[in-house]
Structure 1
Amino acid sequence: MNSTERDRPVFLPSGYGWSADARLVGRILGVVGAAAGRHLDDTRFIEPILTWQIAAEEISDCATADNRPENVRIMILRPHVLTAVWACHQALVRACGHDDDAEHLADLLPDYLRDFHHTDMRSMIDALERVLAVLALDLPAARTLATCIALSTDLGNTRRAARDEILNAWRRAGIAV
């Protein structure tokens, strides 16, 4: 991690669709991590076991069962977590694109996705991209809003403008608010 990378607040949508995406992606990345652990081979599924596990655990923690719009949730995202999620995304895209080095990963998931989650690789990658759209969003507005909430202060228009900036960024990314 370089000196410019730091932990940062990330606001998480409370919508059912986004939580369903996070749940699905967390489970799938966990399956890959478990398979990688079973084989004790850090190259079999492109990324090391720990990368899959870090991404799976963090994404699984993003989902909520409380889907009320007023349910504000904040997580502190560490830079290495976002790096792990991006690495898993790249590995899955390679597997979906029939990359020879991703053959084991491509063979692992299709039947499981179809039989247990009624989806396919492309749809699962789309769900991961929606999760990444939220996790990768690094707006100064998130820090402003997190500070207001942590200090229990109401800065009126500043707080509302920060919230609206986050919601608009989610909408532009196709995340239902």
Structure 2
Amino acid sequence: MFLFLSYILYRYSGKILLRWYRAEKVASLENISKKAEISPPDMYLFDHPLPLIFTVGTGGRYAVALSSEAMDMFDKSELEILFAREIGHIKNGDVPLNTIVALFAGSFAAVSTLALWGAPFMGFGQNYDSAPRFIRFFSMGLVAPPAALVAQLLVACSREHV
């Protein structure tokens, strides 16, 4: 069951994320992708108060999403640099790797939530009982450092410089 859910999340995480942000397809990044010799990713625009840009997708179908705040903040040449950086991530294979890393780190972090929901079955969880919160904090304290270490080891800083 876990492997099936992991596959679904890996395969469709890009579409889920674009729907979450209500991103609208506006263009295709053909000029920059020709120079990188990859198929052009689609460009999506979404409303957000922070300047965000990210790449999603798997299996050769990628999309670059840009927030409206980033579109307003940067001029044309700066946006081209940002798009080139994202296309570099696509060419280097960073997007599927980052998806897998996020999946593993999220799985580690889910242990604390499972401990919280499992607390009533272990005899904890009455209204006056602070044990479920303690169990969650304790399990998160045990799980978060290894999850962060896995994420840090799998995604090296050298991959960030294209």
Same fold (TM over 0.5): no
Question: TM tier, shorter chain?
Answer: 0.3 to 0.5
Structure of higher CA gyration radius:
2
TM-score (norm 1): 0.34
